[in-house]
Amino acid sequence: MNNADRPLEAAPRPPQEMRAVERIAAILRSFSMAQPMLSLTEVARAANLDKNTTRRLLLALAAEGLVRRDESERSWGLDIGVMKLQPAVLGPRTLRETAAPFLQWLTERSGMTSFFWIADPDGAICIDRVRAGGEFRDVFWSTPGTVLPMNVASGPRVVLAHLDDAAGTAWLARPQPRFTGATQTDPAELLRAAARIRAQGHELAVNDYYVGMAGLAVPVTDRSGGFIGAISVTSSASEFAAEDRQQELLAVLREAAVAIGVRLGPNPGVPLHPAG
């Protein structure tokens, strides 16, 4: 077989190419939900780069529509070009397509905004959301692609509860952020909460991420019983106060979770606790 007939193989990248990719990735990852706009100095610090290199790469990314500069604030942020890449992300596409009609049904039945969460190395990532009507019910910060720490909010806490022992221990070894007075940050408390969530099969989180908000979540498992993710509904805390309302919401959440799960095969993703 001559060279022209040989199967194509990925050639190893030269070190300088790898370094360029790493630098660009570090710059893009420096922006977050908490800090969507950063000064040049802040981007350089977060990416661990010098300011000249950072400026050059930011200008190149801006030319491609991936970042933008706010001249009035002398700051930088991600641009619309990043959002245009989202439909091409392969990982959760099947999950999103499968879950979408059931999240819509869940929102219509509950009157609340619904979410689908899966495990991510940086926390729990929202892969889809269906908004409910009403001013208060539009939870703007948890759009698809948002990553939340797993010590807060009902969906992320269900995901944490189903990580396997190694992944759970690694996550709990991190500093846990505090958002409100109700946020749990102690690893021992979170470990006990995870066991409780697995045992009862749901989580109700109130005021732990944003005062006045609450959420209720259940796990989604595939046909073999493997954990896939969590679906949740969120609204004002007062809407979860009555026990009969909680039970009504749990019933529709579990119905949606079963409908999603039976349509999905085994999940080969992050190591997770068996369901149950």
The residue with tokens 């790469």 is 57
What's the rounded mean pLDDT across residues 257-273? Answer: 64
Cβ neighbors of 218 (< 8 A, separation 6 or more) are: 158, 201, 202, 230, 231, 232, 250, 253, 254, 257
76 and 96 part of one domain: no
pTM, rounded to two decimals: 0.69
**Domains identified in the chain, total number:** 2
174 and 240 part of one domain: yes
**Residue 1 predicted with pLDDT over 80:** no
122 and 189 part of one domain: yes
Q: Which pLDDT score, from 0 to 100, does residue 11 have?
A: 46
15 and 147 part of one domain: no
Residue 169 within a domain? yes
Residue 158 within a domain? yes
Cβ-contact 180, 210 below 8 angstroms: yes
pLDDT digits (tens, 9 = 90+) for 135-182: 554 444 578 888 999 999 999 999 999 999 889 999 999 999 999 999
Higher pLDDT, 50 or 83: 50
pLDDT digits (tens, 9 = 90+) for 206-241: 999 999 999 999 999 988 788 999 999 999 999 999
Q: Which pLDDT score, from 0 to 100, does residue 136 have?
A: 52
74 and 93 part of one domain: no
Cβ-contact 193, 158 below 8 angstroms: no
55 and 109 part of one domain: no
The domain spanning residue 236 has which CATH number?
3.30.450.40
161 and 183 part of one domain: yes
Q: At what angle do helices 40-47 and 15-29 cross, to 10 degrees?
A: 120
Name the least confident of 31-40, 111-120, 243-252, 263-272.
263-272
135 and 43 part of one domain: no
Higher pLDDT, 156 or 35: 156
Amino acid at 221: T
- Decide which of 49, 84, 119 is a domain's last residue: 84
**Cα gap 147→116, rounded to integer Å:** 12
105 and 59 part of one domain: no
Q: The domain containing residue 135 runs over which residues?
A: 89-261
Whole-number average pLDDT of the chain: 84
Q: Which pLDDT score, from 0 to 100, does residue 222 have?
A: 85
